[in-house]
DNA sequence: GCAATTTTTGCACTCCGTGCAACGAAGCGT
DNA sequence: ACGCTTCGTTGCACGGAGTGCAAAAATTGC
């Protein structure tokens, strides 16, 4: 269910077992959340499915909800990998947007959307996700620092990253409200919204009326 | 410690008692967090200080950390009150920035900064605060909707609000890192950073090198 | 195969969060 | 002031969350 790592480094049994356990727990939690709803299951149910002891669960995650944020962490892993490969002379916002679209091409967004919707029904899951976004922000900030060098101020950098993440989240909200879970082009709808939001940000929120076009807007180069 | 409400509406005993209890709990929690550190105290300690029963605490807050977000909620109350009074023809970003500065003139920022710092040491408090920001975002979004009318798309509006909040948070982070808790002009430092961040946002992150000037930057009009 | 290291597990314990029912205080009509 | 109603508070009890600790099991290096 969860993606394995792609760098074929020689992993020892120890490392590999830990990764497997982690994913087993995450998968069990996700399936449970799907079937009975977020916040409607206990840690004991998770560990039964995952085949580990209760105590082991808490060696990996501080709470049941945290097991549901593994997917986002992995998504960020991938996206950062893509981002670092992009040519350094590419415009900043363009690189960010491309890193995102390339990653969605690998991973898809449906499960992320699903989890986002769940968070609307369970405050604890929402908090875990917000925390996850926060961690992602920090990691992306480092990647941007590596690209921009010391010319960009700390404030500029963190504000920029924060806005990118905020815009993405706004797109998720809009998508969750306006696209029914059953929609066939659900993923495309979401991607289009994220692109629209990032484009607005890049252009300084100049056009309040910017709406979602039926097909993904093309992005005229800038910044 | 916490501000009383300013509209002198005729409140009944019931309403007033609830407000008092709420504030008593919030104050007790804050004092405790200050003295022993965030996450280092129990609900029982809070209720002992506040003079209410354990059960009553949970009638007001779902967790100990949530009692520490009351201040931010009240700050947003004030800020929204200010924002609604501003002339409707004032440029959007200008109005947002003014609503913020006016509110800080009433309330100050030191306690907010203090709480923000605490969140760095306690994941649960961090999550509660992130949730609080989320609620604030929703409320501010409504206020902006009332001002902008139906011309602005839902996505534009939520993305904009999200970016405003993100930029503010970035300013808080920068402040927490670079300004020692003992600094005498701590509040001014923070305010200057928030203004700088909001200005960058307004200008579309055009200048990566934007740094904090020793004295608060003045804001040339736009948008 | 053996010793060292790391991970898993069971156990015990405190604290959290909530449903429930009894109690007490505020509102309200007379 | 009286009773009646409504709403908030409290105590109790219970299941679940999260953690320190030490024993057991698995992996590693020799």
The minimal CB distance from A201 to the residues B159, B170, B174 is found for B159
- What are the residue ranges spanned by the domains of chain B? 13-62, 69-202
Residue A155 distance to chain B (closest CA, Å): 6
Are B183 and B189 a contacting pair, CB within 8 Å? yes
Identify the helix (H) or strand (E) that includes residue A128. Answer: helix A123-148
Spatial distance between the Cα atoms of B1 and B26, rounded to a whole number of angstroms = 10
Q: What 8-state DSSP symbol labels residue B21?
A: H
Q: What is the pLDDT of residue A151?
A: 86
Counting residues of chain B whose pLDDT is more than 70, the rounded percentage is: 88
Question: What is the chain A residue with the closest CA to B176?
Answer: A155
Q: What is the pLDDT of residue B211?
A: 53
pLDDT digits (tens, 9 = 90+) for B144-203: 999 988 888 999 999 999 999 999 999 999 998 998 888 888 778 888 898 899 889 988
pLDDT above 60 (res B1): no
pLDDT above 70 (res B210): no
pLDDT digits (tens, 9 = 90+) for A110-138: 899 999 999 999 999 999 999 999 999 99
| CATH code of domain B69-202 | 1.10.357.10
Average confidence score pLDDT of chain B? 88
Q: What is the pLDDT of residue A212?
A: 53
Q: What is the pLDDT of residue A209?
A: 60
CA B123 to C1' C27, whole Å: 43
CA B63 to C1' C17, whole Å: 8
Which protein residue has its CA closest to C1' of C11?
A: A55
Query: Measuring CA to CA, how many Å separate B160 from each of A137, B81, B152, B155, B191?
Result: 18, 19, 10, 8, 20
Print burial letters for B162-179: b (CB count within 10 Å at least 16), e (below 16): bbbbbbbbbbbbbbbeeb
Q: What is the pLDDT of residue B215?
A: 46
Nearest nucleotide to B64 (CA to C1') is C16
Nearest nucleotide to A54 (CA to C1') is C9
pLDDT digits (tens, 9 = 90+) for B114-126: 999 999 999 999 9
Structure tokens at A73: 């962490």
Q: Do B131 and A131 touch (CB under 8 A)?
A: no
Q: What is the pLDDT of residue B79?
A: 95
Q: What is the pLDDT of residue B186?
A: 79
Q: Cβ contacts (< 8 Å) between A166 and chain B: which residues?
A: 159, 162-163, 165-166
Q: What is the pLDDT of residue A186?
A: 79
pLDDT above 60 (res B43): yes
Spatial distance between the Cα atoms of A123 and A129, rounded to a whole number of angstroms = 10
Residue A67 distance to chain B (closest CA, Å): 15
Q: Say whether the CB atom of B10 is under 7 angstroms from strand C.
A: no
Of the pLDDT bands very low, low, confident and very high (cuts 50, 70, 90), residue B221 is low
Strand C bases within 7 angstroms of protein beta carbons: 6-11, 15-20, 25-27
Q: What is the pLDDT of residue B11?
A: 77
The minimal CB distance from B166 to the residues A159, A197, A210 is found for A159
Spatial distance between the Cα atoms of A2 and A77, rounded to a whole number of angstroms = 13
| CATH code of domain B13-62 | 1.10.10.60
CB neighbour list of residue A85: distance below 8 Å, 6 or more residues apart: none
Nearest nucleotide to B17 (CA to C1') is D8
Query: Measuring CA to CA, how many Å separate B170 from each of A159, B116, B208?
Result: 5, 11, 14
Phi-psi region of B220 (alpha: psi -120 to 50; beta: other; left: phi over 0): beta
Q: What is the pLDDT of residue A217?
A: 47
Spatial distance between the Cα atoms of B120 and B116, rounded to a whole number of angstroms = 7
Question: What is the chain B residue with the closest CA to A153?
Answer: B209
Q: What is the pLDDT of residue B181?
A: 80
pLDDT digits (tens, 9 = 90+) for B3-22: 444 455 667 899 999 999 99
Q: What is the pLDDT of residue A83?
A: 95
Residue B91 distance to chain A (closest CA, Å): 12
| Per-residue pLDDT of chain A in tens (223 residues, 90 and over written 9) | 554 444 555 678 899 999 999 999 999 999 999 999 999 999 999 999 999 999 999 999 999 999 999 999 999 999 999 999 999 888 888 899 899 989 998 888 889 999 999 999 999 999 999 999 999 999 999 999 999 889 889 999 999 999 999 999 999 999 999 988 888 887 788 888 988 998 899 888 876 665 554 444 454 555 4
CATH number, domain A68-202, options 1.10.357.10, 3.20.20.140, 3.40.50.720, 3.90.850.10:
1.10.357.10
Torsion angles phi and psi, residue A183, rounded to 5: -55, 135
Q: Cβ contacts (< 8 Å) between B191 and chain A: which residues?
A: none
Q: Do B163 and A166 touch (CB under 8 A)?
A: yes
Q: What is the pLDDT of residue B52?
A: 98
pLDDT digits (tens, 9 = 90+) for B127-138: 999 999 999 999
Of the pLDDT bands very low, low, confident and very high (cuts 50, 70, 90), residue B214 is very low
Query: Measuring CA to CA, how many Å separate A218 from each of A21, A71, A195, A221, B154?
Result: 42, 28, 9, 9, 20
Question: Number of A:B CB contacts under 8 A?
Answer: 151
Counting residues of chain B whose pLDDT is more than 90, the rounded percentage is: 63
Q: Say whether the CB atom of A59 is under 7 angstroms from strand C.
A: yes
Query: Measuring CA to CA, how many Å separate B128 from each of A121, A128, B37, B124, B172?
Result: 16, 10, 16, 6, 16
The residue that leads in pLDDT, A161 or B214, is: A161
Write a three-state SS string for B119-187: HCCCHHHHHHHHHHHHHHHHHHHHHHHHHHHHHCCHHHHHHHHHHHHHHHHHHHHHHHHHCCCCCCCHH
CATH number, domain A13-61, options 3.30.70.260, 1.10.10.60, 3.30.910.20, 1.10.1040.10:
1.10.10.60
């Amino acid at each position: 269910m969860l993606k394995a790592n792609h760098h074929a480094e020689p992993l020892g049994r120890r490392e590999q077992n830990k990764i497997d356990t982690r994913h087993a727990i995450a998968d069990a939690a996700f399936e449970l959340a799907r079937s009975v709803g977020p916040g409607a299951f206990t840690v004991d149910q998770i560990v039964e499915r995952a085949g580990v002891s209760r105590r082991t669960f808490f060696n990996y995650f501080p709470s049941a909800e945290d097991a549901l944020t593994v997917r986002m962490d992995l998504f960020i892993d991938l996206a950062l990998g893509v981002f670092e490969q992009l040519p350094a002379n590419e415009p900043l916002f363009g690189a960010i947007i491309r890193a995102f679209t390339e990653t969605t091409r690998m991973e898809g967004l449906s499960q992320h959307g699903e989890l986002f919707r769940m968070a609307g029904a369970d405050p604890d899951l929402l908090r875990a996700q917000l925390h996850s976004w926060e961690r992602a922000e920090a990691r992306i900030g480092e990647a941007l620092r590596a690209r921009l060098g010391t010319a960009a101020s700390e404030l500029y950098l963190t504000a920029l990253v924060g806005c990118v993440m905020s815009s993405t989240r706004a797109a998720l909200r809009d998508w969750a409200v306006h696209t029914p879970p059953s929609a066939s082009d659900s993923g495309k709808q979401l991607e289009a919204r994220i692109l629209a939001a990032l484009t607005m940000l890049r252009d300084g929120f100049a056009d309040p009326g910017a709406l979602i076009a039926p097909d993904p807007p093309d992005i005229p180069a800038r910044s």
